[in-house]
Amino acid sequence: MKEKSEMFTPQAMAFAVRAAIVAMSLVPVAQAADSEEDPAVTAMVRPTSTIEAGVGYNSDKSYKFGEYNGLQDRGVTGIANFDIRGGGRYDNGDTTRWSVQGSNLGLEDRNLQAEYGMQGLFRLKFEYDELLRNRSDSYQTPYLGAGSNNLTLQPDWQVPSVQTNRATINSPNARGLSAAVQAGQYLPTTSGASVTGGPAVVAGIPASPGPLRAAQAALIIGNDLPDFHGYDLDTKRTRYEGGFLVNFGSEWDFQASARHEDKDGAKPMGTVSRATGGDISMIIADPIKQTTDQFNASANWTGKRGFAQAAYYGSVFYNDVKSLTWQNWAMATNAAGNTNTMSSAPDNQFHQINFTGGWSFTPTTKLVASGSYGRGTQNERFLQDAFTPYVSRSSLEGLVETSSVNVKFSFRPLRNLNSNLGYKYDNRDNQTPVGIFAFYDTNETPAAAPAVPATNNQAAFQAFSQALGLSKTAIASNGTINANRPYSRKLNQVTFDNDYRVWHSQYVKLGYEFEQIDRECPGSWIDCSDAKQTREHSGMFEWHGNLFLDSLNGRAGYTYASKKVDYNENAFLALVPMANVVPNIAPASATMSAYQFMKSMGWTGYGPVAGYVNTATLVPANVNYNLFFNNNNALTQQLYGNANRISELVGMRRYNLADRDRHKVRGNLNWQATDSLSFQGGLDFNKDEYDNSVYGLKDAEKWAFNFDADYVFSEKFKANVFYTHEIDRQNAAGNTYTANSATAAQNGVTALSSTCGSYANLLARNLVNKIDPCTNWGQETTDDIDTVGLDVNHKGFFGGKLELNGNFIYSMARTNTDMTGGNWANNPAAGLASAPTRTIAAFWIPAADLPEVKTETYQIALTGQYKLDVRSSLRGMYSYAHMSSNDYMYDGMQAGGLSGVLPSFEKAPSYSDHFVGLSYIYSFNL
Tell me the pLDDT tens digit for each residue of 778-831: 999 999 999 999 999 999 898 889 999 999 999 999 999 999 999 999 988 888
- Rounded distance between C-alpha atoms, residue 630 and residue 624, angstroms: 9
> Mind listing the pLDDT tens digit for each residue in 448-464?
765 554 556 778 888 89
- Alpha-carbon distance values, 734 to 95, 635, 731 (Å): 68, 19, 11
Q: What is the mean pLDDT of the chain?
A: 89
At 195 the pLDDT is 39
At 26 the pLDDT is 45
At 459 the pLDDT is 80
pLDDT at 22 exceeding the cut of 60: no
Q: 149, 323 in Cβ contact below 8 A?
A: yes
Q: 173, 217 in Cβ contact below 8 A?
A: no
Q: 890, 908 in Cβ contact below 8 A?
A: yes
Identity of the residue numbered 828: P
- Rounded distance between C-alpha atoms, residue 452 and residue 512, angstroms: 65
Q: 879, 809 in Cβ contact below 8 A?
A: no
Q: 750, 718 in Cβ contact below 8 A?
A: no
- Rounded distance between C-alpha atoms, residue 776 and residue 186, angstroms: 30
Residue 509, H or E segment: strand 506-520
Q: Which of 854 and 799 is assigned the larger pLDDT?
A: 854
- Rounded distance between C-alpha atoms, residue 27 and residue 40, angstroms: 17
∠ CA 905-909-913, rounded to 5°: 130
SS3 2: coil
Q: How confident is the model at residue 164 (pLDDT cuts 50, 70, 90)?
A: low
At 227 the pLDDT is 96
Nearest to 639 by CA among 401, 473, 456: 456
Which residues are registered as beta bridge partners of 177?
none
Q: Across the beta sheet with 480-483, what order do the strands follow?
A: 390-391, 436-439, 480-483
SS3 414: strand
Q: Which residues contact 533 (CB under 8 A, 6 or more apart)?
A: 516, 517, 518, 519, 565, 566
Q: How many CB atoms lie within 10 A of CB 135?
A: 17
What average pLDDT does this structure show over 379-395?
Answer: 91
What average pLDDT does this structure show over 218-234?
Answer: 95
Which residues are registered as beta bridge partners of 916?
57, 878
Sign of CA dihedral 655, 656, 658, 661: positive
At 166 the pLDDT is 47
Q: Which of 833 and 335 is assigned the larger pLDDT?
A: 335
Q: Which residues contact 362 (CB under 8 A, 6 or more apart)?
A: none
Phi/psi class of residue 445: alpha, beta or left (left: φ > 0; alpha: ψ in -120 to 50)? beta
pLDDT at 27 exceeding the cut of 50: no
Here the contacts of 741-744 (C-beta below 8 Å, separation 24 or greater) are 741/612, 741/631, 741/766, 741/767, 741/769, 742/612, 742/614, 742/631, 742/766, 742/767
pLDDT at 25 exceeding the cut of 70: no
What average pLDDT does this structure show over 479-487?
Answer: 95
- Rounded distance between C-alpha atoms, residue 124 and residue 122, angstroms: 7
Query: Taking every pair of C-alpha atoms in the chain, what is the biggest distance, in angstroms?
Result: 111
Q: How confident is the model at residue 257 (pLDDT cuts 50, 70, 90)?
A: very high
Radius of gyration of the chain (CA): 34
What average pLDDT does this structure show over 107-134?
Answer: 95
The percentage of residues in the chain with a pLDDT greater than 70, rounded to a whole number, is 90
What average pLDDT does this structure show over 557-577?
Answer: 96
The percentage of residues in the chain with a pLDDT greater than 90, rounded to a whole number, is 74
At 8 the pLDDT is 37
Nearest to 706 by CA among 685, 723, 689, 719: 723
| Poorest-pLDDT segment among 210-214, 556-560, 640-644 | 210-214
At 620 the pLDDT is 67
- Alpha-carbon distance values, 136 to 67, 297, 344, 548 (Å): 9, 39, 21, 54
What average pLDDT does this structure show over 742-752?
Answer: 94
Phi, psi of 595 (to 5 degrees): -65, -45
> Mind listing the pLDDT tens digit for each residue in 679-705?
999 999 999 999 999 999 999 999 999
- Rounded distance between C-alpha atoms, residue 77 and residue 85, angstroms: 26
At 205 the pLDDT is 55
Number of H helices, E strands in the chain: 8, 41
- Rounded distance between C-alpha atoms, residue 237 and residue 263, angstroms: 4
- Rounded distance between C-alpha atoms, residue 428 and residue 517, angstroms: 11
∠ CA 435-427-345, rounded to 5°: 50
